[in-house]
Amino acid sequence: MNDDQVIHDTQTWVNKAVIGLNLCPFAKAVVVKKQVRYVVAHDSDPEAVLQLLSAELQHLVDVDPELLDTTLLIAPNLLPEFLDFNEFLFDCDALLQSLDLEGVLQIADFHPRYQFAGVADDDLGNFTNRAPYPTLHLLREASIDKAVAAFPDAANIYEKNILTLQAIGHAGWAQLNLPKAGE
Protein backbone atom coordinates (compact mmCIF):
# COMPACT_ATOMS: atom_id res chain seq x y z
CA MET A 1 0.00 0.00 0.00
CA ASN A 2 1.48 3.35 -0.98
CA ASP A 3 1.55 6.55 1.08
CA ASP A 4 -0.90 8.37 -1.18
CA GLN A 5 -3.55 5.67 -0.69
CA VAL A 6 -3.05 5.52 3.10
CA ILE A 7 -3.26 9.30 3.38
CA HIS A 8 -6.28 9.45 1.06
CA ASP A 9 -8.09 6.79 3.10
CA THR A 10 -7.30 8.66 6.32
CA GLN A 11 -8.43 11.99 4.89
CA THR A 12 -11.66 10.37 3.71
CA TRP A 13 -12.28 9.10 7.25
CA VAL A 14 -11.48 12.53 8.71
CA ASN A 15 -13.81 14.29 6.28
CA LYS A 16 -16.74 11.84 6.32
CA ALA A 17 -16.69 10.64 9.94
CA VAL A 18 -14.72 13.02 12.14
CA ILE A 19 -15.89 16.23 10.45
CA GLY A 20 -18.98 14.94 8.63
CA LEU A 21 -20.53 13.55 11.81
CA ASN A 22 -18.98 16.32 13.90
CA LEU A 23 -17.26 13.77 16.15
CA CYS A 24 -14.62 16.40 16.84
CA PRO A 25 -15.92 19.96 16.62
CA PHE A 26 -12.32 21.24 16.51
CA ALA A 27 -11.19 19.22 13.47
CA LYS A 28 -12.77 21.21 10.66
CA ALA A 29 -10.85 24.43 11.32
CA VAL A 30 -7.40 22.81 11.17
CA VAL A 31 -8.33 20.79 8.09
CA VAL A 32 -9.66 23.87 6.27
CA LYS A 33 -6.51 25.83 7.21
CA LYS A 34 -4.35 22.90 6.01
CA GLN A 35 -2.67 22.65 9.43
CA VAL A 36 -2.73 18.85 9.55
CA ARG A 37 0.36 16.81 8.72
CA TYR A 38 -0.18 13.23 7.51
CA VAL A 39 2.80 10.91 7.98
CA VAL A 40 2.86 7.22 7.07
CA ALA A 41 4.97 4.78 9.09
CA HIS A 42 5.55 1.63 7.04
CA ASP A 43 7.18 -0.40 9.79
CA SER A 44 5.44 -3.19 11.62
CA ASP A 45 8.09 -3.02 14.35
CA PRO A 46 6.84 -0.93 17.28
CA GLU A 47 10.39 0.29 18.08
CA ALA A 48 10.79 1.71 14.58
CA VAL A 49 7.42 3.44 14.85
CA LEU A 50 8.46 4.88 18.21
CA GLN A 51 11.56 6.37 16.55
CA LEU A 52 9.40 8.03 13.92
CA LEU A 53 6.97 9.15 16.63
CA SER A 54 9.86 10.79 18.48
CA ALA A 55 10.88 12.69 15.35
CA GLU A 56 7.29 13.76 14.65
CA LEU A 57 6.72 14.95 18.22
CA GLN A 58 9.85 17.07 17.96
CA HIS A 59 8.83 18.34 14.52
CA LEU A 60 5.44 19.43 15.82
CA VAL A 61 7.05 21.30 18.72
CA ASP A 62 9.54 23.02 16.40
CA VAL A 63 7.05 24.24 13.78
CA ASP A 64 5.00 27.41 14.12
CA PRO A 65 1.48 26.44 15.30
CA GLU A 66 -0.02 28.73 12.66
CA LEU A 67 1.57 26.51 10.00
CA LEU A 68 1.08 23.11 11.63
CA ASP A 69 -1.35 22.40 14.44
CA THR A 70 -1.56 18.62 14.51
CA THR A 71 -0.08 15.45 13.04
CA LEU A 72 -1.65 12.13 12.16
CA LEU A 73 0.98 9.39 12.24
CA ILE A 74 -0.61 6.53 10.33
CA ALA A 75 0.89 3.06 10.74
CA PRO A 76 -0.99 0.63 8.47
CA ASN A 77 1.33 -2.31 9.26
CA LEU A 78 1.52 -1.80 13.01
CA LEU A 79 -0.19 -4.10 15.49
CA PRO A 80 -3.39 -5.18 13.75
CA GLU A 81 -4.80 -6.53 17.02
CA PHE A 82 -6.25 -3.72 19.09
CA LEU A 83 -5.11 -5.04 22.48
CA ASP A 84 -1.51 -5.12 21.24
CA PHE A 85 -1.87 -1.58 19.92
CA ASN A 86 -3.43 -0.50 23.22
CA GLU A 87 -0.38 -1.89 25.09
CA PHE A 88 1.91 -0.01 22.67
CA LEU A 89 0.32 3.26 23.82
CA PHE A 90 2.12 2.90 27.17
CA ASP A 91 5.40 3.10 25.24
CA CYS A 92 4.11 6.16 23.37
CA ASP A 93 3.25 7.90 26.65
CA ALA A 94 6.65 6.96 28.11
CA LEU A 95 8.31 8.48 25.04
CA LEU A 96 6.33 11.69 25.47
CA GLN A 97 7.51 11.87 29.10
CA SER A 98 11.13 11.08 28.21
CA LEU A 99 11.12 13.95 25.70
CA ASP A 100 9.75 16.22 28.44
CA LEU A 101 6.76 17.04 26.24
CA GLU A 102 4.01 16.03 28.66
CA GLY A 103 1.76 19.06 29.03
CA VAL A 104 3.01 20.41 25.69
CA LEU A 105 1.72 17.67 23.39
CA GLN A 106 -0.59 14.72 23.80
CA ILE A 107 -1.22 11.59 21.81
CA ALA A 108 -4.70 10.38 20.93
CA ASP A 109 -5.17 6.99 19.34
CA PHE A 110 -7.36 5.41 16.68
CA HIS A 111 -7.49 1.85 15.39
CA PRO A 112 -9.67 -0.13 12.94
CA ARG A 113 -10.66 -2.47 15.79
CA TYR A 114 -10.84 0.08 18.59
CA GLN A 115 -12.80 -1.24 21.53
CA PHE A 116 -13.51 0.42 24.85
CA ALA A 117 -13.09 -1.81 27.90
CA GLY A 118 -16.22 -3.66 28.94
CA VAL A 119 -18.04 -2.89 25.69
CA ALA A 120 -19.04 -5.33 22.93
CA ASP A 121 -17.00 -5.17 19.73
CA ASP A 122 -19.97 -3.99 17.66
CA ASP A 123 -21.03 -1.29 20.15
CA LEU A 124 -21.39 1.97 18.24
CA GLY A 125 -19.38 3.84 20.89
CA ASN A 126 -16.23 2.09 19.63
CA PHE A 127 -16.67 3.70 16.21
CA THR A 128 -15.78 7.12 17.62
CA ASN A 129 -12.16 5.90 17.67
CA ARG A 130 -12.11 3.62 14.64
CA ALA A 131 -9.92 4.75 11.77
CA PRO A 132 -8.91 2.86 8.63
CA TYR A 133 -5.42 2.20 10.09
CA PRO A 134 -3.70 2.31 13.46
CA THR A 135 -3.14 6.02 13.94
CA LEU A 136 -1.48 8.24 16.52
CA HIS A 137 -2.87 11.77 16.63
CA LEU A 138 -0.33 14.28 17.94
CA LEU A 139 -1.99 17.35 19.40
CA ARG A 140 -0.76 20.58 20.92
CA GLU A 141 -2.05 21.07 24.48
CA ALA A 142 -2.33 24.83 23.84
CA SER A 143 -4.61 24.19 20.85
CA ILE A 144 -6.78 21.86 22.91
CA ASP A 145 -7.04 24.47 25.68
CA LYS A 146 -8.02 27.13 23.14
CA ALA A 147 -10.60 24.89 21.50
CA VAL A 148 -12.12 23.83 24.82
CA ALA A 149 -12.38 27.46 25.91
CA ALA A 150 -14.27 28.26 22.70
CA PHE A 151 -16.52 25.21 23.05
CA PRO A 152 -18.13 25.34 26.49
CA ASP A 153 -19.64 21.84 26.34
CA ALA A 154 -16.38 20.07 25.46
CA ALA A 155 -16.83 17.60 28.32
CA ASN A 156 -20.03 16.39 26.66
CA ILE A 157 -18.49 15.63 23.25
CA TYR A 158 -18.10 11.91 23.95
CA GLU A 159 -21.73 11.52 25.03
CA LYS A 160 -22.93 13.55 22.03
CA ASN A 161 -20.87 11.34 19.73
CA ILE A 162 -22.47 8.20 21.15
CA LEU A 163 -25.92 9.69 20.55
CA THR A 164 -24.95 10.65 17.00
CA LEU A 165 -23.72 7.15 16.23
CA GLN A 166 -26.75 5.54 17.84
CA ALA A 167 -28.97 7.77 15.72
CA ILE A 168 -27.33 6.67 12.45
CA GLY A 169 -26.84 3.07 13.61
CA HIS A 170 -24.67 0.48 11.95
CA ALA A 171 -26.49 1.00 8.65
CA GLY A 172 -25.74 4.74 8.68
CA TRP A 173 -22.08 4.08 9.51
CA ALA A 174 -21.88 1.60 6.62
CA GLN A 175 -23.43 4.21 4.28
CA LEU A 176 -20.45 6.48 4.95
CA ASN A 177 -18.55 3.95 2.84
CA LEU A 178 -15.33 4.51 4.74
CA PRO A 179 -12.10 2.83 3.68
CA LYS A 180 -11.18 -0.28 5.64
CA ALA A 181 -7.67 -1.44 6.48
CA GLY A 182 -6.20 -3.62 3.77
CA GLU A 183 -8.78 -2.74 1.12
Q: What is the rounded average pLDDT of the residues 98-117?
A: 96
Q: What is the pLDDT of residue 158?
A: 86
Q: What is the pLDDT of residue 55?
A: 98
Name the band, by pLDDT with cuts 50, 70 and 90, for residue 104: very high
Residue 153 reports pLDDT greater than 90: no
Name the band, by pLDDT with cuts 50, 70 and 90, for residue 183: low
Name the band, by pLDDT with cuts 50, 70 and 90, for residue 103: very high
Between residues 92 and 152, which one has the greater pLDDT? 92
Q: What is the pLDDT of residue 95?
A: 98
pLDDT in tens, 45-75: 999 999 999 999 999 999 999 999 999 999 9
Q: What is the pLDDT of residue 96?
A: 97
Phi, psi of 161 (to 5 degrees): -65, -40
Pair 43, 77: CB distance under 8 Å: yes
Q: What is the pLDDT of residue 182?
A: 52
Q: What is the rounded average pLDDT of the residues 8-37?
A: 95
Q: What is the pLDDT of residue 79?
A: 97
Amino acid at 137: H
Distances (CA, A) of 30 to 11, 12, 34, 107, 117: 13, 15, 6, 17, 30
Q: What is the rounded average pLDDT of the residues 93-122?
A: 96
SS (H, E, C) the chain: CCHHHHHHHHHHHHHHHHHCCCCCCCHHHHHHCCCEEEEECCCCCHHHHHHHHHHHHHHHHHCCCCCCCEEEEECCCCCCCHHHHHHHHHHHHHHHHHCCCECCEEEEEECCCCCCCCCCCCCHHHHHHCCCCCEEEEEEHHHHHHHHHHCCCHHHHHHHHHHHHHHHHHHHHHHCCCCCCCC
Residue 1 reports pLDDT greater than 80: no
Residue 107 reports pLDDT greater than 80: yes
Q: What is the rounded average pLDDT of the residues 113-131?
A: 94
